[in-house]
Amino acid sequence: MTNTDATSQDPGTRPAHAPILSLRGISKSFGAVSALTDIELDIHPGEVVALVGDNGAGKSTLVKILAGVHQPTAGTIEFDGKEVSIASPGAALGLGIATVFQDLALCENLDVVANLFLGHELSALRLDEVSMEVKAWTLLRELAARIPSVREPIASLSGGQRQTVAIARSLLLSPKIIMLDEPTAALGVAQTAEVLNLIERVRDRGLGVIMISHNMEDVRAVADRVVVLRLGRNNGIFTPDASNQELVAAITGATENAVSRRRDRKAAQHSAVEEIAL
Amino acid sequence: MIQNSQPALDRSDERVRHDETLSGALKGFLDRIRSGDLGTLPVVVGLIVISAVFTYLNPVFIAPDNIVNMLFDCATVGVISLGIVCVLMLGEIDLSVGSMSGFASAIVGVLWVNHGWPIAAAIAVAICAGAVCGGIYALLFNRLGMPSFIASLSGLLAILGMQLYILGPTGSINLPYTSPFVMFGQILIMPGWCAYILAVLPGAVMVLTGMSTRTRRLAANLSARPLTAVLLRAGLMTIGLVLAVYYLSLGRGVPWMFGMFVGFVVVMNYALTRTKWGRSMTAIGGNREAARRAGINVRLIYTSAFVLCSTLAALGGILSCARLASSSQQAGTGDVNLNAIAAAVIGGTSLFGGRGSAWSALLGIIVIQAISNGLTLLNLPSSLRYMITGGVLAIAVIVDSLARRSRASHGRA
């Protein structure tokens, strides 16, 4: 953490106290398939929670429920101490839950300013381009984003820059929670580091962050807690210093799994090579 | 000129070349063209070529009175084309605009002449019929997921059927020549002073808004376009418009109907570029799902576009029956449909959605009318005229797809 400032040390924003969002017994079934069963999850302000799990573990379904895309079959969602129902993407935004989807959902034919303010333009009948541009620059500056020009169409930006725009857009409405679905999946080394820095800056602003990732290295780098889902159920909460073995075991459901077998085989090969060399 | 204490907000990244001066602006323009962001360039070039060829073949083409006639004709189909721009922006289509315009003209004829209604009431009913028809397409599209292509194709037949039904066996109604309605469509011309004022107005507005935008941008520590560029653009435009008005006044002058059409274009252009509605239209045309997730009411925007398109088609039909002084079974058939769609595409509105401008309806319809008028002057049979118009449309669509591919490879969507 490079950008730790006073706010993140402030006891008021420390995790451990009142959660901003808590899920109790959330279940979701699609026909006969239960995608989620009895999920419990708490998010505190100023905390990064990584949501990990294998393909089909229910991570994206959970995010879609919180984003208002799907409705849960059972269970309650408490936001800011009040029980709420999230009926539509608009309702989620209204509550203060912003989502950065995996496919970013940007309009390539519009420029950065238009994308940032999409659906929330200033003065509907006479667009206030000057104020929007100033606010766009301010927001991008706060995130230390490197966007050369906000008047270029999104199509001309790199993957990392697009990710930055998508994250900046989610912050525009001053949300209380931001959810990122695979924020580093398509990025290079430097861009990944940029996005991780960005996540830390967002946390330092006192927001709750939910991050879905398959990349354990990224998860360890920024997460305060790691929540493991397996086959639609909670399968343990870890601290980021938990060993890889523990995490993989929780994700796959067994200490004996494809990852451990591969590791053992590689280790065996390695020691065999060393023996021959000796 | 600009305060030098700190770089402007949008000028702090050293990777971007900034086109501050006039030569810089020119350089930026050339870059845009090269990357395939052609804008209105192909259509302007095309128009100059077409005019030169037809004038060479028959000098009557360029005569002021011929051009005045052309402008009368432009207004009718142009209004229909303006509606087409709306649906094309969303990447949808309405193939029934021709039938809708014919139906609207039939409604006006039957209610006004046969039933003796006041003309205003007849026009209001015709326009409402257009709005209802667009509403039905929107319903089919939004609720039942029916592609607009198929919905409007069946609408084309159904509405044509209604037109034939209400016209009855006689099939044709003549409208009274002396009525203000028909005179508006055939002979009403702006007085000279009015035409000149309207020619100077856009340049003045451009300078005023350009200066106030510049002040606001500089106050907000953003870079602004140099004042000379604003003045130069406004000056060139004013000179062009005044010369055009002068040339037309050598003949009959500027038709009110054409003035009304240009007025619609200006309003539509403002709505598409400077309002939240227009921004939503462009966004949905570019990426519908992204727009939905951004909280835009996508269904409402689709509905607005379909309703607007059919309503403008009905209005175009009303203007064309004023122009022809008759409501007949032939109204809105033949090439009206194709011309309206072709005009929007030729003018530079993309068939793929997300790119377009209200001006494309104006420019495109002038090209189409110039071709059809020129071919008529050459006494070519309609067989050849159809072939040539078809060829021009094909070229326009090819330019659109090639430019789109080039934009993709230059990262300009």
Tell me the whole-structure pTM to 2 decimals. 0.86
Cβ contact, residue pair B411, A155, below 8 Å: yes
pLDDT digits (tens, 9 = 90+) for B359-389: 999 999 999 999 889 988 998 887 887 888 7
Cβ contact, residue pair A118, B296, below 8 Å: yes
The pairing of strands A177-181 and A208-212 is: parallel
Place of tokens 């697009």: A162
* Closest alpha carbon within chain B to A156: B411
Q: Model confidence at A271, in pLDDT bands (50, 70, 90)?
A: confident
List chain A residues with CB under 8 Å of B277: 124
Q: Minimum mean pLDDT among A236-240, B6-10, B47-51: which range?
A: B6-10
Cβ contact, residue pair A119, B289, below 8 Å: no
What is the per-residue pLDDT for A2?
39
Q: What percent of chain B has pLDDT over 70?
A: 93
- Do A84 and B263 form a contact (C-beta atoms < 8 A)? no
* Closest alpha carbon within chain B to A139: B9
What is the per-residue pLDDT for A148?
84
Q: Minimum mean pLDDT among A233-247, B142-156, B196-210, B282-296: which range?
A: A233-247
Q: What percent of chain A has pLDDT over 90?
A: 28
Query: Which of A47, A6, A53 lies closest to A214, judged by CA?
Result: A53
- Do B98 and B343 form a contact (C-beta atoms < 8 A)? no
Cβ contact, residue pair B275, A131, below 8 Å: no
Cβ contact, residue pair A156, B222, below 8 Å: no
CB half-sphere exposure, B213, CA atoms < 13 A: 18
Cβ contact, residue pair A121, B295, below 8 Å: no
C-beta atoms surrounding B132 within 10 Å: 13
Most confident of A248-252, B13-17, B156-160, B215-219: B156-160
Closest partner residue to B291 (CB to CB) among A118, A121, A150 is A118
What is the per-residue pLDDT for B154?
95
Which residues contact residue B237 at a Cβ distance below 8 angstroms, ignoring those fewer than 6 apart? B202, B203, B206
pLDDT digits (tens, 9 = 90+) for A116-175: 999 889 888 888 899 999 999 988 887 777 788 888 889 888 887 888 899 889 888 889
Min CA distance, B365 vs chain A (Å)? 25
What is the per-residue pLDDT for B258?
95
Average pLDDT, chain B: 89
pLDDT higher at A116 or A15? A116
Report the distance separating Cα A194 and Cα A257, nearest Å: 33
**A122 near B CB under 8 A:** no
- What value of ipTM does the predicted structure carry? 0.86
Q: Model confidence at B68, in pLDDT bands (50, 70, 90)?
A: very high
Cβ contact, residue pair A153, B412, below 8 Å: yes
What is the per-residue pLDDT for B17?
60
What is the per-residue pLDDT for B352?
86
- Do B307 and B131 form a contact (C-beta atoms < 8 A)? yes
pLDDT over 80 (residue B407): no
pLDDT digits (tens, 9 = 90+) for B177-225: 999 999 999 989 999 999 999 999 999 999 999 999 999 999 988 888 8
Domain edges within chain B: 39-188+255-405, 189-254
Chains A & B: contacts with CB separation below 8 Å: 106
List chain A residues with CB under 8 Å of B15: 148
Closest partner residue to B10 (CB to CB) among A119, A126, A150 is A150
**A21-242 fold:** Rossmann fold (3.40.50)
CB half-sphere exposure, B76, CA atoms < 13 A: 30
Domain at B39-188+255-405: CATH code: 1.10.3470
The mean per-residue pLDDT over the stretch B291-297 comes to 86
